[in-house]
Chains A and B, each alone.
Chain A
C-alpha cells in the first residue's frame, strides 16, 4: 500500500533556530501534499497544500514566511519552521495524494514532534 514517511520523528531545537521536516512518499508519486499541525488533545489543522513544482497554498492565519514549504519533487516535500519559538512546539503531520490515488484518498505520515526550548 501507499506509504508516507516523515523525518525526523521528533526534534528538539532552541528558540530562534530553524528546523526542517521532510515528508516522503515511498512507493507512489505524490502530486499533492498537505501539512497539518496538531496541538495536544486537539484536531488536525491544515496549514498548507502544496502541488509538485508550484508554490504552496497556505491556510488563513498561517505565516508563509515562517513555515516554508517546498515540494520540489514528486516524492518529497519539506516544511521548514524558521526562527522557531516555543509556541511553534507541536505535532506536525503530512499527508500525500497521488495521481492514481483512489477518490479523495490521502495517505498520512507518522508525524514529527517538534519541541522548541
Chain B
C-alpha cells in the first residue's frame, strides 16, 4: 500500500517570501513522487517529479522540491512567492519498483494563499 500525507490544509505566505508546502509519503518500493497544482474548477497541472538522481528537483514556475529518503519527505518550495501561486497543491506517489498499473496516490491537498 502507498500513502501520502500533506499535514497542512492551508498555508499562508506573504508575497515575496519563501514558501514551503509539506509532503511525506509511504511506499513499499522505490518512490516516484510528484507535485501538481490545481486552480479552481480546473484539472491538475504538473509541476515536477522525482524518479531518481539528484534529490533537489527543479520544476515549472520556479518551484522545486527536495527528496529526503530518511525522512520520507518531498516538500515543495519556492524562494519568492507570487500572488498568482495561490492555488491547491497536491503531492502524489507511485511505487516505481515493479510492474503495476501506474496508479498514483494523492495527498488531500494544501491550499496555498499568497497575500499581497
Q: Please, which residue of chain B has its CB at the minimum distance from the CB of A109?
A: B43
B58 at the binding interface (Cβ < 8 Å)? no
B83 at the binding interface (Cβ < 8 Å)? no
B51 at the binding interface (Cβ < 8 Å)? yes
Contact of A43 among B41, B42, B108 (CB under 8 A): B108
Interface string of A62-105 (1 = CB under 8 A from B): 00000000000000000000000000000101010100000111
Chain A interface residue count, Cβ-Cβ cutoff 8 angstroms: 25
Residues of A within 8 A of B106 (CB): 43-44
A29 at the binding interface (Cβ < 8 Å)? no
Contact of B44 among A32, A49, A93, A97 (CB under 8 A): A93
Residues of A within 8 A of B34 (CB): 104
Cβ-defined contact, A57 with B101, below 8 A: yes
- In the complex the two chains form, what is the Cα distance from A100 to B52 in whole Å? 18
Contact of A44 among B42, B90, B101 (CB under 8 A): B90
Q: Give the A-binding residues of B (Cβ under 8 A).
A: 32, 34, 36, 41-46, 49, 51, 90, 94, 96, 101-109
Further contacts, 7 of them, CB under 8 A, given A44-B44, A103-B32: A43-B106, A43-B109, A103-B96, A108-B43, A108-B45, A111-B41, A111-B42
